[in-house]
Structure 1
Amino acid sequence: MTEYKSNYDVTIVGLGPIGAVLANFLGSYGVGVIVIEKESASHQLPRAVAFDDEVMRIFQNIGVSKEVNDIVAVGENAHFVKPDGEILVTWDRPKKISSNGWFLNYRFHQPDLENLLRQRLNTYTNVSIQLESTVVNLEQDENSVEVEVKDATLAKNIIFKSQYVVGCDGAKSFVRSKIGGNYIDLGFHEPWLVVDLLIKKPESNKVKDSFHYCDPERSSTQVYLGEKRKRWEFRLNPGDDPHKIVEPKNVWSLLSRWIGPSEAELERAVVYTFHASIASQWRKKRLLIAGDAAHLTPPFMGQGMCAGVRDACNLSWKLNEIINKNVGDTLLNSYQTEREVHVRKFIELTIDMGKLINRTRTDLLLGPAKNSIKGPQRISNLLPVLGNGIGKREKDWEGRIFPQAQLESGLLMDDTIGLRWALFSKIRLSQNNIKRIEQDFKRLDVRILSDFPEEIYDWMRKKSCVAVLVRPDRYVYGTAKTKKEIVLLVSDAMKEIYG
């Protein structure tokens, strides 16, 4: 039996963290959304365990940062350590507020995060969620996609139409199979044992740094997940049986160097194969993919989920422009070109970290990764530029995330802007200037700010500019040095978005 239902603006396939973030963004924009999820409830075991300051800023922009802040722990530095205890590399993540307005690193329990994101979705009347359902067919024409869904609870298929379909359905993505293309292999595929522990005495779990043990005999990683949890990861050696290594006695044998059953309870032990790859095609007309459906990242930087959340942020404002403002969907051509270059930088550095952990290389980023009189090599968070797309890329800061400062009121800057474009200008535009581009400001929905914190003035001084136009995803579109250039900057954005 087949039932025909009403239509939607966007269908999201998959309600993991990436699908939930995208649905929250689109819900905020007033876009009509249906989310199709094959499971009956969120997955109750941890997978992703860390995210960074930019992702926390994204959570802020969908209105859940306060709730998320209640379920996370602030992470600190990561050290790459030789078997003799010598530190090769320290990844500095000091416990201070970053230019994004948040701490550099957070540790979390993924089921808690997913539950929060789903609770937020329940506040939107324009977002529907259909659980225990599987997309079984997608047929698109020039105007829409016909979506066929098998509903396990009703034991029947449902068909409806949607303007766009976004696959947030993981590495084995059905939506990607309909788009076509293949995975670009970036040369890292390794089986690792992942062990999650519940700490019996949380007060004893005080070290918040992470440790990567660079041992050619058995590479391993130890990660702080808050007072109640810790994770260890062990690279499988060629002779290891993946079925036997997960047995409790073998797991505790591997852990015995650090911790024993009297101190912790084994929550789970599972073998994952860590991959590094990127899909060659992220879009085919009205079908798109995001997150693990588009790229796979080994876990050593904690950037797998982060990359997918950035995908959702990038894609959401473009879908809003198309659906709510009747912009042509050529705007979506910039989605993969911007995001693929950005995520590739993270994946390549993660691969280098994996090689360092395995001792198949001895340097990382800049110079030799070894102790000297000055100590170990130190690295900091990676801040890559977007690939070519919407906005200028003439200067180094264009296409990079714009800083967020705290206002005198205590509010963070993004909270006063909303999900829209923003023009920060040190000089006040005359009525004549504004009149010339008044329609551009209205159609783009630009918030003009001429009074802002000192950190933003300082950013402009260093860039020798008087104004900066920032996209809804908080990336810099371009900068201007004069009133005339400000007018041209907004006009250029209009032409690029609306044609």
Structure 2
Amino acid sequence: MTTQEAMQTEEEYDVAIVGYGPTGATLAHLLGDCGLKVAVLERESAAYHLPRAVHFDAEVMQVLQWIGAAEKIEPLTAFHPGMRFVDPDGKLLLDWPRPQGIGPQGWRANYRFHQPDLERILREDLARRPGVSIRTRCDVFLVEDRGDHVHLRYEDMSCGRVRGIRAKYVVGCDGARSLIRRFIDTGMEDYGFHERWLVVDVILNQEKPELGDHSIQYCDPKRPATYVRGPFLRRRWEITVLEGEDAHALTQPEAVWNLLSPWLRPDEARLERTAVYVFHSLVADDWRRGRLILAGDACHQTPPFMGQGMCAGVRDVANLYWKLALLCQGKVTGAAAEALLDSYESERKPNAREYIQTAVRLGGLINTCGTEAALRAALPVGDGSARMTSIAPPIGPGLGSGPLAGRLFGQPCLADGRLMDRAFAHRFVVVAHADLAAGLTLPDGVALVTTDTAPDAAAHLERLGARATVLRPDRHTLGGADTRAELEALLARILPAPIPTPEPEMI
């Protein structure tokens, strides 16, 4: 077969995703919802069966709601009241309680989970999604941006054959050692945190209430440690590895149980996983080059002290998916397409960076003896008291206009009891006081929610500080409006809807 014949027989896709972890799987779901043809290429044959990420928040749960996974994972999660920092004597240094009950996104503020549970749900559902092709045991080794498409070559390790595909765009969700990042050829901005920690996951034989539901940061300069409650009988400890300690020796059962002895005896649980990791604090200089794009750990790596590693990857793809859908559907072209893609990095990078820098500061607190001066210096927000408030940073400048652009909006509950995104997922939505929206002409595919059709919409708008807003498909605002003229100006900034309106969801 000639090279020309081989090119003609290559399968063509809108988007190829390299990497099939939670970030890649979530992106595949979102793009599939938009009617795109998607290929997912993964080197491993199956999902990793042991715990990794253990926390996600309401923003992530709202994204999981869009793809039908929220209700499936919620019963498998654990209650999370917040985080406490204590000194070597057990004295409370810093209390970070998390809001309880249902919050603005329509979900609880935080969830503790078992990553293999989430990956199983994502993969089982994705296997039934038309238009999405999952290929495991595929080792990608060549990625060429040819201007109007990307050519990928990979080895199908199930049979040893080399195959190729074409895609309009490639997204590297392939982790910290990303191949796609290497083809983009970008450096990494380093925030200076590189420490070895021993991660120990156990399964209790029975409940041990004295361990508690709070996450605990043990600020002991001799050996800092973290305790995390997981769902059901799962518990995790993360313990600093000291200079000169042998990582292999430290993961042996006798050494592990010795380190866990302040909290747990060998007869109370079984070890599920022990591993030494180096926690990094890095952000890629470039998140895109041409048709190659990065998401998740491929473009940012964070210490675990805020539980935001996987969350950041899901935020990435929530920001990216609808922009790719508009481009692949040909609804945005030319310079406007480039600007739309550029907004992905300009919006997401400052948000990811702020989370990482906050995690580094908290890591510094854990490594101190907890003096008043160290506590005040390490607080990411607030007034220096021992009670920490919200830490969610805004996205960076991008598509919106005005001081209220780029804010994460809540999810109003419609008059029929449904959350807004049950009816209007993946669409632009105007949320407004009824009098301001009366007689308003909307662009095709744009939904309208008013204070008449959603009883709690007024509370969401009050929290934003405006009488109306336009929400993007990722539920960040294009801006705020208090007059009809301001609202009409926002409407003029709306892009085409990223997918055809789904008839079964219309109200």
Into which bin does the TM-score normalised by the smaller protein fall? over 0.9
Gaps of 5+ in 2: 499-507
1:54-69 equivalences in 2 (<5 Å): 54-69=59-74
Partners of 1:286 and 1:368 lie apart in 2 by 44
Compute the displacement of 1:462 (Å).
5.5
Q: Is the 8 A contact 2:20 2:40 kept in 1?
A: yes
Mapped to 2, the partners of 1:178 and 1:53 lie a distance apart of: 34
Candidates 246, 252, 259, aligned match of 2:257: 252
CA distance in 1, matches of 2:351, 2:477: 14
Tell me which of 16, 24, 37 is aligned to 1:19: 24
Distance 1:277 1:186 in 2: 6
Offset, 1:461: 4.0
Q: Give the secondary-structure state (helix, strand or coil) at the position aligned to 1:208.
A: coil
2:475 aligned partner: 474
Is the Cα–Cα contact under 8 Å of residues 277 and 296 in structure 1 kept in the other structure?
yes
In 2, the alpha carbon distance for the partners of 1:488 and 1:408 equals 28
TM-score normalised according to structure 1 size: 0.92
Quote the Cα distance in structure 1 between the aligned partners of 2:227 and 2:464: 40
CA separation of 1:463 and 1:239: change in aligned 2, threshold 3 A? closer
Deviation at 1:154, TM superposition (A): 2.0
For residues 105-145 of structure 1, what are the alpha-carbon distances to aligned partners after superposition, in whole Å with 9 as ceiling and x for unaligned? 11111111101001111221100000100111011122100
Map of 2:130 onto structure 1: 125
1:365-413 deviation per Cα after TM superposition (whole angstroms, max 9, x unaligned): 35786xxxxxx61113322111011112x22x42111012333433212
Identify the residue that residue 449 of structure 1 maps to in structure 2.
449
Aligned length: 481
Q: Is the deviation greater in 397-406 or in 451-460?
A: 451-460
Instruction: Name the Cα RMSD after superposition.
Output: 2.1
Partner of 1:350: 359
- Residue 391 (structure 1) aligned to one of 400, 415, 428: 400
Shift of 1:418: 1.6
Provide closer, same or farther for how the CA distance between residues 403 and 367 of structure 1 changes in structure 2, counting only shifts above 3 A.
Answer: closer
The aligned runs of 1:47-446 (5 Å cut-off) are 47-202=52-207, 204=209, 207-328=212-333, 329-330=337-338, 331-359=340-368, 361-363=374-376, 364-366=379-381, 377-392=386-401, 394-395=402-403, 397-426=404-433, 427=435, 429=437, 431=439, 433-434=440-441, 441-442=443-444, 445-446=445-446
Instruction: Determine the C-alpha separation between the residues in 1 that align with 2:166 and 2:212.
Output: 52
2:154 and 2:124 mapped to 1: Cα distance? 24
**Equivalent residue for 2:504?**
none
Question: What letter is aligned with 2:428?
Answer: W
**Displacement, 1:104?**
1.2
For 2:487 and 2:45, the matched residues in 1 are separated by: 51
468 and 94 in structure 1: CA distance in 2 versus 1, 3 angstrom threshold:
closer
Tell me, in whole angstroms, the C-alpha distance in 1 between the residues paired with 2:14 and 2:231.
Answer: 39
1:57 is aligned with what amino acid? Q
Q: Which amino acid is 1:407 matched to?
A: L
Distance 1:336 1:359 in 2: 34
1:423: Cα distance to partner? 0.5
Residue 373 of structure 1 aligns with which residue?
none
| Sequence identity percentage | 40
**Unaligned residue ranges in structure 1 (runs of 5+):** 370-375
- Structure 2 Cα separation of the partners of residues 231 and 321 of structure 1: 42
TM-score normalised per structure 2 = 0.91
Contact 1:205–1:228 (CA<8 Å) still a contact in 2? Answer: no
Q: Deviation at 1:494?
A: 4.3
Q: Tell me the distance in 2 between the aligned counterparts of 1:212 and 1:203.
A: 19
- Kept in 1, the 8 Å contact 2:22–2:119? The answer is yes
3-state SS of 1:165 partner = strand
Residues 319, 344 of structure 2: 8 Å contact kept: yes
CA distance in 2, matches of 1:366, 1:75: 21
